[in-house]
Amino acid sequence: MLKTFSCKIVALISFASIALFAGCGGGPETANNSAPVSPREVNEKNTPQVNEKPEELGMLIKVPFVPAEVVFVEQAAAAEPGRSPGPNDKKLRAVILYEKEDAELLAAEAAKLAEPTAVEIDADTWFPAELVSQSELNEGQKLKGKAYPADMLFQAPYLAGTLVRIDETNYFVVEMYTR
């Protein structure tokens, strides 16, 4: 009786396994049964998560002075000219608005590290409306500013990057990378 019972269990498990794996076919029938992915779902997956909390930015990098406004995105680093990130590397891009006095002090402190250089940077769609509008007025839809080393903002793991003061504003764009 025990032998018959064991044979029935083995047969039942074998049948269940075959039925389970038969349903995992992967042929054209399976592909047609899946629901289509909407463009909105694709965009939501590819759109970075925008954060406006200064205290959370302050946990990632050093934020001198009290900002009037902060908006930032942290995401996986992508390959760029002159940069080949590792699989765990991240990129942080932040826009920080300071009061005029604090903006002047920050620019003066950054200039002590190195002479600023004129640059043009892209404005992301999540940037404050004032900067997006300003970029649309410029040829090539770029923001013009002065780039400084961002050493004074470094905090592990973000140990490389730049600080750009956008011309004729109190906005700074910080772009930092993990190492």
Question: pLDDT tens digits, residue range 77-107?
Answer: 887 766 677 778 899 999 999 999 999 999 9
Residues 157-170: pLDDT tens digits? Answer: 999 999 999 999 99
CB 134 within 8 A of CB 158: no
Contact partners, residue 127, CB within 8 Å, separation at least 6: 71, 95, 135
Residue with token string 């694709």: 42
Element housing 23 (H / E): none
In angstroms, the Cα distances linking 42 to 48, 91, 178 are 12, 21, 27
